[in-house]
Chains A and B, each alone.
Chain A
Amino acid sequence: MISVGIDIGSITVKCAVIKDNEILATSLDLTGFDVKKAWNKVFYDTINKANILEKQIDYIISTGYGRESVDIADKKITEITCHGAGAHFLDPRVRTVIDIGGQDSKAISLDKNGRILDFVMNDKCAAGTGRFLEVMARAMGVDLKEFGNLSLEAKDPVKISSLCTVFAESEVITMVSKGKKREDIIAGIHNSIASRTFSMANRLQISPPIMLTGGVAKNKGLVKALEKKFAQDIIVSPFAQLNGAIGAAYLAQNHKK
């Protein structure tokens, strides 16, 4: 049984191929303006990597904001259900998934079979999302990849009080000009995302263990801030951004054309 999951997010397109419950290949690329072109490229890249032919695929599920544009998909499922399924597939112990994506974040609670019990999404706002981090990194002139490690060196994290991305940006610029240490500001930014994420997720009953997914899961500083806020260890998905696509491919494993 070969299945494919395609996850079209606001910033990146992701694809995963699963054969008999084993991941064969994954890839991702920027979404850009032409969504159709983007997923076509990622889709063929992935099946080439997996060394399979298109006609060998039994079932395709698309997910993410752009899921409707995938005309080759046999079924379209929301990213909530797919993220839950992906986390369950990667680690069946997981009961809460926190996904911080490019323009939204969500928390999902799962039962032991990986089924969704409940979910919440962030408000219509970029605060507490990957985009927020990008804006802050730019404001500070630091490469996003450095962000996580730098914040681990913080001694005295600053407090960012503004919830709005645009206002927080000017707050950060003010702190830079006041001569606050770079690592302290970055740690403050991570704390601000962590507390936003916590108050969102707290609307659910959070059961351990928690898995963090989405592009920002690679950011060690943020993981640390989240662990502190949630007062527990957090499992970081080994596939970070690919979790939704893997979940879609995994759900597709149970379908026959």
Chain B
Amino acid sequence: MVEYKKAPIKAKDKMKQIMTNYFLDAYSAKDNGKKIAWITSGGPVEPLLAMDIIPIYPENHGAMIGASKMGQKLCSYAQGLGYPNDLCSYALADIACSKGEKGPIGQLPKPDLLICCNNICSTVVKWYEIQARYFDVPLFILDTPMCHTGFSYEIRSYVEQQFYELFLFLEHICKKKFNQERLQHIGMLSIQAQRLWQEILETTKHSPAPMSAFDAFFHLALIVTLRGTQVCVDYYKELLEEMHQRIEQGICAVPQEKFRILWDNLPIWYRTKWLSDKFAQKGVCLVADTYTSAWCSSLKYIDENNFLNPLSEAYTRIYLNQGIDIMADEIIKMIEKYMIHGFVMHSNRSCKPYSFGQYDIQNIIRAQTGIPILIIEADMLDETKFAEGQIESRIEAFVELLETRYEA
């Protein structure tokens, strides 16, 4: 019998270095004659790279704020400015930092332009409008209609038209011609990175899993911020290789893996360590999640030979921009693919599009798979919305339920 053991993922240090370099580049953009665009996490980054613009992701910054446990302080600062408690905590924290409050890396480099795509939510539209007024910079809004049941010709042409407008917008700002060939090249790199990311996530099909969703939450930063670059592709190649080695050497996330869990919604950034330990103590491994896999979920619509063509479809048909029946279908596929014993849904106060349909999705999944499902209420950033005692009890009771279900 193989002796399974736990060990940290080696590539981690390299990733920290890559992220540091990325921010250093961004902070010195002005000196190097480069422009900075703030962009939403689901926004089309490839056209920016094609124009040598450095993309900055306030949501990624939000994750860093959460992981450094600075969310509560920043959210309450923004609330003090009059923004409501119910507003997404990424927006609150970003607004607070823009007004001079310090985050984990101080403040983000100031934007020259803003790109907002509402494929993730409508909050981002108002949030970016506020920032456009505050920084007095141009804002481009890419409007992607919700795909309740599928895609249509009308949606395609409507979104495609906006892509051409985006190119013109970028030409105008950069005062140079948009380079379609360069876009094709960057698009290829982006697709390659998404494929690698998918392969990395799929290594957890192996039991015990060589990494957990908590590791995926960390390593996600590159596919969000640097997809379309060679650095990103090279890093994920290395990470994938390491995952294969870990499987061979019996290195895994939870050596006593008894139960495999699927996670829904954003991580609870300030509690990832706590949750990961809590689950691991009980032999539970979060092997997959609907969140990190969203960054490779539109691969099926992409055409490598012509990146531009399906761009509108790929950016419109993302996980959060579809009806709950489609979401439930994707979850069921994941449950089968990863041999899942239980499903834990984070009902996230901040993220309405992610949390709104959860009870219906729960019913669909329960009816179709019969696996136990737990819903825990919290917030990805704001610690005041996390009740440790209650969440602890729920998790423990859920594990007891899994034990009676599967060990009887």
Interface size range of chain B in the complex: 10 to 19
* B377 and A118 form a contact (CB under 8 A): no
| Chain B contacts with A in 357-408, Cβ cutoff 8 A | 359, 362, 372-373, 375, 377, 385, 387, 389-390, 393-394, 396-397, 400-401, 404-405, 408
| Nearest A residue (CB) for B367 | A205
Q: Give the distance to chain A from B398, nearest Cβ to Cβ, in Å.
A: 8
A121 CB contact (under 8 Å) in B373, B385, B394, B405: B394
* B390 and A104 form a contact (CB under 8 A): yes
* A80 and B377 form a contact (CB under 8 A): no
Q: Mark A92-121, 1 if CB is under 8 A from B, else 0.
A: 000000000000100000000001111111
| Nearest B residue (CB) for A66 | B389
Given contacts A123-B377, A203-B359, contact A116 B404 (CB under 8 A): yes
Bound form: Cα–Cα A77–B400 in Å: 8
Q: In the complex, what residues of A have CB within 8 A of residue B394's CB?
A: 121
* A116 and B400 form a contact (CB under 8 A): yes
Bound form: Cα–Cα A120–B400 in Å: 14
For residue A78, CB closer than 8 A to chain B, the reply is yes
| Nearest A residue (CB) for B374 | A119
Bound form: Cα–Cα A116–B403 in Å: 10
Bound form: Cα–Cα A131–B375 in Å: 24
* B393 and A79 form a contact (CB under 8 A): yes
Bound form: Cα–Cα A121–B389 in Å: 12
Given contacts A115-B408, A203-B359, contact A121 B400 (CB under 8 A): no
| Nearest B residue (CB) for A120 | B375
Q: In the complex, what residues of A have CB within 8 A of residue B401's CB?
A: 80-81, 116-119
Q: Give how many A residues have a beta carbon under 8 Å from the other chain's beta carbons.
A: 17
For residue A65, CB closer than 8 A to chain B, the reply is yes
Bound form: Cα–Cα A118–B400 in Å: 11
For residue A124, CB closer than 8 A to chain B, the reply is yes
Given contacts A115-B408, A118-B372, A203-B359, contact A124 B400 (CB under 8 A): no
Bound form: Cα–Cα A81–B389 in Å: 16
Q: Give the distance to chain B from A227, nearest Cβ to Cβ, in Å.
A: 25
Q: In the complex, what residues of A have CB within 8 A of residue B397's CB?
A: 78-81, 116, 119
Q: Give the distance to chain A from B348, nearest Cβ to Cβ, in Å.
A: 14
Q: In the complex, what residues of B have CB within 8 A of residue A124's CB?
A: 377, 385, 387, 390
Q: In the complex, what residues of A have CB within 8 A of residue B390's CB?
A: 104, 121, 124
* A81 and B372 form a contact (CB under 8 A): no
| Chain A contacts with B in 66-99, Cβ cutoff 8 A | 77-81
| Nearest A residue (CB) for B394 | A121
* A78 and B377 form a contact (CB under 8 A): no
Bound form: Cα–Cα A115–B408 in Å: 10
Bound form: Cα–Cα A79–B372 in Å: 18
| Nearest B residue (CB) for A205 | B366
Q: Give the distance to chain B from A37, nearest Cβ to Cβ, in Å.
A: 20
Q: Give the distance to chain B from A14, nearest Cβ to Cβ, in Å.
A: 16
Q: In the complex, what residues of B have CB within 8 A of residue A78's CB?
A: 393, 396-397, 400
* A81 and B377 form a contact (CB under 8 A): no
Bound form: Cα–Cα A102–B363 in Å: 29
| Nearest B residue (CB) for A114 | B404
Q: Give the distance to chain A from B318, nearest Cβ to Cβ, in Å.
A: 28
Given contacts A123-B377, A203-B359, contact A115 B393 (CB under 8 A): no
Q: Give the distance to chain A from B372, nearest Cβ to Cβ, in Å.
A: 7
Bound form: Cα–Cα A218–B88 in Å: 42
Q: In the complex, what residues of A have CB within 8 A of residue B405's CB?
A: 115
Bound form: Cα–Cα A200–B373 in Å: 15
Q: In the complex, what residues of A have CB within 8 A of residue B400's CB?
A: 77-78, 80-81, 116
Bound form: Cα–Cα A104–B390 in Å: 9
Bound form: Cα–Cα A123–B401 in Å: 20
Q: Give the distance to chain B from A187, nearest Cβ to Cβ, in Å.
A: 29
| Chain A contacts with B in 100-156, Cβ cutoff 8 A | 104, 115-121, 123-124
Bound form: Cα–Cα A21–B396 in Å: 26
* B393 and A80 form a contact (CB under 8 A): yes
* A65 and B372 form a contact (CB under 8 A): no
Bound form: Cα–Cα A104–B397 in Å: 15
Bound form: Cα–Cα A115–B397 in Å: 12
| Nearest B residue (CB) for A104 | B390
Bound form: Cα–Cα A121–B375 in Å: 9
| Nearest A residue (CB) for B389 | A65
Q: Give the distance to chain A from B206, nearest Cβ to Cβ, in Å.
A: 29
Bound form: Cα–Cα A124–B394 in Å: 12
Bound form: Cα–Cα A79–B389 in Å: 12
Bound form: Cα–Cα A64–B389 in Å: 10
Q: In the complex, what residues of A have CB within 8 A of residue B389's CB?
A: 65
| Nearest A residue (CB) for B396 | A78
Bound form: Cα–Cα A132–B362 in Å: 29
* A115 and B404 form a contact (CB under 8 A): yes
Q: Give the distance to chain A from B360, nearest Cβ to Cβ, in Å.
A: 11
Q: Which 6 A-B pairs have the closest CB atoms?
A: A80-B397, A78-B397, A81-B400, A115-B404, A78-B396, A124-B387
Q: 23 pairs across A/B with beta carbons < 8 Å?
A: A77-B400, A78-B393, A80-B397, A81-B397, A81-B401, A81-B404, A104-B390, A115-B404, A115-B405, A115-B408, A116-B397, A116-B400, A116-B404, A118-B372, A118-B401, A119-B397, A121-B393, A123-B377, A124-B377, A124-B385, A124-B387, A124-B390, A203-B359
Given A80-B393, A121-B393, output 13 extra A-B contacts at Cβ < 8 Å.
A78-B396, A78-B397, A81-B397, A81-B400, A81-B404, A104-B390, A116-B401, A117-B401, A118-B401, A121-B394, A124-B385, A124-B387, A203-B359
